[in-house]
Amino acid sequence: MGTVELSVQVGTPPKTLLEAVESFVIECAARGLSKNTIALNCIILRELTNFLGDKPIEDVTTDELRRFFVEKATSTSVSTAARYHNTIHRLFTFLAEDGFIPTNPMAGVKKPKVPAPVIKPLTPEQIEALIAACDAKSFVGLRDKLILLMLIDCGLRASELANLTLDDVDLENQIFLVRHGKGGKSRRVPFGKAVLAVLRAYLAKRAEVTTPNLIVTVYGDPVDRYRLRAIVTQRGEKAGVKCTTHLLRHTCAVSYLRAGGDAFSLQKLLGHSTLTMTRRYCELADSDIAEKHRLYSPADRIKNAGLEQKRRRLR
């Protein structure tokens, strides 16, 4: 990903759009945003400066910004356009709040409405096929089995799993320490006995590797999030299951709720800042409960409990 080379001096009020972008990048770093988030912001804002030109920031109008988003609507998905809106809105909010511009021109630009994605978690049979696709006798097979189990059991994001180090693993208490989750927040993530068993076997096989990262290649190099996603996709193809790292996160969430877990502990497990996404998992789990109730309704099993019983006169 690209970055913006900073030329503006810290404390100097930005006058042009490019200077404003540079000041915003400094502010993002000061807030502790991840390098990946900052890099993505730089890419988005570079496209904005290419579209508008490096003009005085007070000359940027709402109409110009709307035209930018009209162009994005024809060349990107709705979710990508919404991501652009978030970043650009934060830029001008930062400029307005710090008094660099009198008003926020993004205030009049409506955010693209992103339809809620359809969440369809894997079935138990698909999960079993996925795990069976890994030959645990080899280092790669054992490693990939561990990756899949950690994603299913802990609901980790790909970047979170890729960034785990040996120091982040607490075998005694069965806890992973995610140091840099979404938004730069850390959290403690528990794991179960199945993960523990495979993790111990994996650590024994990689005992001589000096790389601090938990997940490594056969040469001892760290496995980054992109390679991690490719591994999951490839194992899915071998098992005949369409699979991504984020689908396994969805599967973890819904399976957790179906097994009796509650929304608040799930929120902490997944590292959600709000209950919004967690509620969507709850709704999906609730629909599953409704279907199960239709199949196993206690009252429906009672003889003569329904309308088929002989009619009686009301007294």
Do the domain assignments include residue 82?
Answer: yes
Do the domain assignments include residue 8?
Answer: no
Q: Are residues 88 and 142 in the same domain?
A: no
Residues annotated as catalytic are 157, 182, 246, 249, 272, 281
Do the domain assignments include residue 304?
Answer: no
Q: Are residues 193 and 254 in the same domain?
A: yes
270 vs 96, residue with greater confidence: 96
Determine the 3-state secondary structure of 138 from DSSP. Answer: coil
CA–CA dist 30, 46 (Å, integer): 20
Q: Are residues 199 and 286 in the same domain?
A: yes
pLDDT in tens, 264-300: 888 888 887 777 777 777 776 666 666 666 666 676 6
Do the domain assignments include residue 73?
Answer: yes
Do the domain assignments include residue 305?
Answer: no
CATH number of the domain where residue 167 is located: 1.10.443.10
Determine the 3-state secondary structure of 157 from DSSP. Answer: coil
H helices of the chain, where?
Answer: 17-30, 35-52, 62-75, 78-97, 124-132, 139-154, 158-163, 193-205, 225-239, 245-258, 263-270, 276-296
CA–CA dist 181, 281 (Å, integer): 20
pLDDT in tens, 65-94: 999 999 998 899 888 999 999 999 999 999
Q: Which phi and psi (to 5°) does residue 31 adopt? A: -80, -5
Do the domain assignments include residue 228?
Answer: yes
Q: Are residues 80 and 210 in the same domain?
A: no
Q: What is the CA angle 125-128-130, rounded to 5?
A: 110
Q: Are residues 228 and 93 in the same domain?
A: no
> Which residues fall within 8 angstroms of residue 186, CB to CB, at 6 or more apart?
177, 178, 179, 180
Nearest CA to 140 out of 227, 226, 225 is that of 227
Strand partners, 178: 187
How many structural domains comprise the chain?
Answer: 2
Q: Are residues 82 and 222 in the same domain?
A: no
Q: Which domain holds residue 72?
A: 17-98
CA–CA dist 281, 266 (Å, integer): 10
Q: Are residues 278 and 129 in the same domain?
A: yes
How does DSSP classify residue 303?
A: T
Please check the confidence at residue 301 and state whether its pLDDT lies above 70: no
CATH number of the domain where residue 24 is located: 1.10.150.130
Q: Write down the pTM of the prediction.
A: 0.68
Q: Are residues 194 and 153 in the same domain?
A: yes
Do the domain assignments include residue 113?
Answer: no
